A and B are shown apart, each in its own frame.
Chain A
Amino acid sequence: MYRFNKAPMLLRALLAALLLFSLQVPEAYSGGDTDAVVMVLNTRNPTKKITEAQVKRIYMGNLAFWNGVVPIKVYTRSSSEAASEQFYGDILKMKHQSFDSHWSSRELAGQGVAPTVAHSPTEVAEFVRSTPGGIGFLLASEVWDITPDGVQVLEIQ
């Protein structure tokens, strides 16, 4: 887990570099198709690790609360973004169209509201920063693009 909000600027930059190094995804620097997906949580969230199964449950609407206490607020990305394609393919293991159909079905059955769409890494960070129970995703290479205050980045176990 990486906390950014209380560190001085130089330390933040160092931590961000360490984050990318610790993810052990050299492609993270390239921003290419093989870039890894990382999860973004609010710093108020005490979660220190997150598994692929948990991420999938959250994004499919099968897990509504953090620790049974704080409502989970889910943020996704627009289908035109590379992060989106990577996340749906690698983590959810489905096409974007199937994800949309899944949530349309759930909404029309009253089984939850579809994740809010963020249109950039900055917007993901802004949404999560303002929502204690928020969760979003970025490509590891996009971590550089966000203002780290108030958010933490977790790699998926």
Chain B
Amino acid sequence: MFLGLIYALSPAVQAADDGGWGDDADWGDVGDIQQPIFETKLYGFIDSYFEKVAQTPVSVDEQGRTVWEDNPYEFDVLNLNVMLQGSIHGRYRYFLNLAAPGAGSNVDDEALSVRNAWVEAPIMGSYLAVRAGKLYRRFGLYNEILDAVPTFIGIEPPELFDKDHLMVTRTTNLMVFGALPIGGSTVNYAVSTGNDERDGGAVPIGADANIDFGGRFRVGSSFYSSMGDAAPSRGVGEGSPRGGVINWMETDNYVVYGGYAQLTYNGTTIQAEGWQADHDAVRDGESVAALADAGLNPRQEERFLPGGEAVEGPVKYAIRTAYLRAGHQFPVGKEASFTPYIQGDYYSNPETIANKDFGGDNEAGLSDDGVFYKYTAGAVIRPVPQVALKLDGSAHQMQFNGETTYFPEVRVSLSYLWQLEQ
């Protein structure tokens, strides 16, 4: 659809020339214009992190009372990213993003993993380009900027991309994308595909389109379809899935869709997103039987193991999430700033469980009905643009043991951007 749109618009695009400079702005023979062969920038950031979650509900005792458990405080280097971005002859861009999440341990060494490694070539100026390798798909407001933790409001990602319950793989392998200026606005579009979680010959498709009104307001929609059977990225006992297919499925044919909007005006940022994933899956009997050791709540036992018998075979379910974030950046002097923010998240997943080792998550999976709300308030203090101290506190709200239950957590993040001096 997007390629068709581009093709249909291409004569007008060429006539208007890139950026609407007009026919008189002809560069003629550009063969004499020398561009540096390589231009490369090496940079990244270190994000020191502290979190303390208050007592959380874990089970129900024989008298039917909720059992609460203490949680230890946690220091970590939540994000350690080394990035290299550059271009060849000013046209062919490349990007390398290496990360070692959880590198704060004193007893374990974390290996650097490849988050992104891609090359990009323009096909038609800014209107059409192709990117290939390992790349973040364009999806909503956050997927491409989640490694830019020091810059966005809030410490944690929206629930859509919480690594404990991803709704879709964050990375893919091939993306065609571009931007079309229309007056003072810009239409951005992207179509992507890749290995993702495909099982067999499926060709998963992701798409995103948005309109940016002069940098102040952006509204858009994203879509993803596994286009056939997808397989779990991790098995039961191997931890949280890396995509939308939960660990105890044999196959899953699913779509994710939704919309987003962002208003940026005079230092104020307001963001809203809403997403739904419709799953048409087949449970693997052996994997479901293994959930007997996962500490299921009564609703989950009824769903997966009624009477001790594993419920395998086809299952259809929907995951929903939405959030609203708002913040305002107060400039302080020439370089410093103070940005208070608030945010509210909603997430619902009837198929998940609490035990993360088995592929669940300890938020929706902890609740009676697979639903939780999270309310957050915090602030970002930047003494200089390259240093961000974030402090925030959240309250989880969920139904547990038949009661509305709250438990708070506090987080502190101190992140430094760095770069090789140029």
Chain A, residues 34-77, CB within 8 Å of chain B (1/0): the string is 00000000001111110001101110101111111111010000
Residue A33 interfacial (CB < 8 Å): no
Determine, out of B140-148, B231-239, B365-373, the stretch whose residues face the partner at the interface.
B140-148
Q: In the assembly, what is the distance between CA of A137 and CA of B382, in Å?
A: 27
Residue B195 interfacial (CB < 8 Å): no
Chain B residue contacts of A122, Cβ below 8 A: none
Residue A18 interfacial (CB < 8 Å): no
Chain A, residues 115-143, CB within 8 Å of chain B (1/0): the string is 00000000000000000110000000000
Residue B215 interfacial (CB < 8 Å): yes
Q: In the assembly, what is the distance between CA of A100 and CA of B382, in Å?
A: 11
Q: In the assembly, what is the distance between CA of A73 and CA of B89, in Å?
A: 12
With A46-B25, A70-B30 as known contacts, state yes or no: A110 contacts B19, CB within 8 Å.
no
With A95-B267, A109-B144 as known contacts, state yes or no: A68 contacts B125, CB within 8 Å.
yes
With A97-B385, A107-B85 as known contacts, state yes or no: A68 contacts B90, CB within 8 Å.
no
Q: In whole Å, how far is B174's beta carbon from the nearest beta carbon of chain A?
A: 15
Residue B83 interfacial (CB < 8 Å): yes
Residue B410 interfacial (CB < 8 Å): no
Residue B306 interfacial (CB < 8 Å): no
Most chain A beta-carbon contacts within 10 A, residue among B19, B26, B30, B91: B19
Chain B residue contacts of A98, Cβ below 8 A: 264, 267, 329
Q: In the assembly, what is the distance between CA of A130 and CA of B215, in Å?
A: 30
In contact, A63 and B152 (Cβ under 8 angstroms): no
Chain A residue contacts of B20, Cβ below 8 A: 54
> How many A-B pairs with Cβ below 8 Å?
150
Q: In the assembly, what is the distance between CA of A44 and CA of B81, in Å?
A: 39
In contact, B145 and A63 (Cβ under 8 angstroms): no
Q: In whole Å, how far is A50's beta carbon from the nearest beta carbon of chain B?
A: 8
With A104-B148, A108-B81, A110-B97 as known contacts, state yes or no: A69 contacts B116, CB within 8 Å.
no
With A101-B151, A109-B144, A110-B83 as known contacts, state yes or no: A68 contacts B126, CB within 8 Å.
yes
Chain A residue contacts of B97, Cβ below 8 A: 110
With A48-B24, A57-B181, A80-B334 as known contacts, state yes or no: A66 contacts B19, CB within 8 Å.
yes
In contact, A107 and B43 (Cβ under 8 angstroms): yes
Tell me which residues from 83 to 124 in chain A have a Cβ below 8 Å from any Cβ of chain B. 94-98, 100-101, 104-105, 107-113
- Number of A interface residues in the complex (CB < 8 A): 43
Q: In whole Å, how far is B358's beta carbon from the nearest beta carbon of chain A?
A: 33
In contact, B83 and A108 (Cβ under 8 angstroms): yes
Residue B118 interfacial (CB < 8 Å): yes
In contact, A108 and B18 (Cβ under 8 angstroms): no
With A57-B186, A70-B33, A101-B385 as known contacts, state yes or no: A62 contacts B83, CB within 8 Å.
no
Residue B87 interfacial (CB < 8 Å): yes
Chain A residue contacts of B184, Cβ below 8 A: 53
Most chain B beta-carbon contacts within 10 A, residue among A49, A68, A104, A111: A68
Tell me which residues from 1 to 35 in chain B have a Cβ below 8 Å from any Cβ of chain A. 17-22, 24-28, 30, 33, 35
Contact of A101 among B39, B45, B136, B329 (CB under 8 A): B329
Residue B95 interfacial (CB < 8 Å): yes
**Closest A residue, CB atoms, query B24:** A48
Chain A residue contacts of B215, Cβ below 8 A: 56, 60
In contact, B17 and A68 (Cβ under 8 angstroms): yes
With A46-B25, A97-B337, A97-B382 as known contacts, state yes or no: A69 contacts B124, CB within 8 Å.
no
Contact of A64 among B35, B116, B122 (CB under 8 A): B122
**Closest A residue, CB atoms, query B419:** A107
Chain B residue contacts of A70, Cβ below 8 A: 27, 30, 33, 90
Residue B127 interfacial (CB < 8 Å): yes
In contact, B126 and A65 (Cβ under 8 angstroms): yes
In contact, B331 and A69 (Cβ under 8 angstroms): no
Most chain A beta-carbon contacts within 10 A, residue among B28, B136, B184, B417: B184
With A54-B20, A95-B329 as known contacts, state yes or no: A65 contacts B145, CB within 8 Å.
no
Q: Which 9 A-B pairs have the closest CB atoms?
A: A68-B125, A68-B18, A71-B90, A108-B148, A110-B95, A100-B385, A105-B151, A97-B337, A105-B148
Residues in chain A within 8 A of chain B (CB atoms): 44-49, 53-54, 56-58, 60, 62-71, 73, 79-80, 94-98, 100-101, 104-105, 107-113, 132-133
Residues in chain B within 8 A of chain A (CB atoms): 17-22, 24-28, 30, 33, 35, 39, 41, 43, 45, 81, 83, 85, 87, 90-91, 95, 97, 116, 118, 122, 124-127, 136, 144-145, 147-148, 150-152, 179, 181, 183-184, 186, 212, 214-215, 264, 267, 329, 331, 334-337, 382, 385-386, 417
10 A–B contacts from the bound complex (CB under 8 Å): A45-B27, A54-B19, A54-B20, A67-B125, A68-B17, A68-B125, A97-B385, A101-B151, A109-B148, A110-B95
Extra 13 A-B pairs, beta carbons < 8 Å, given A95-B267, A97-B336, A108-B150: A62-B186, A63-B181, A64-B126, A66-B21, A67-B18, A67-B21, A68-B125, A69-B27, A96-B335, A97-B329, A97-B331, A110-B144, A113-B41
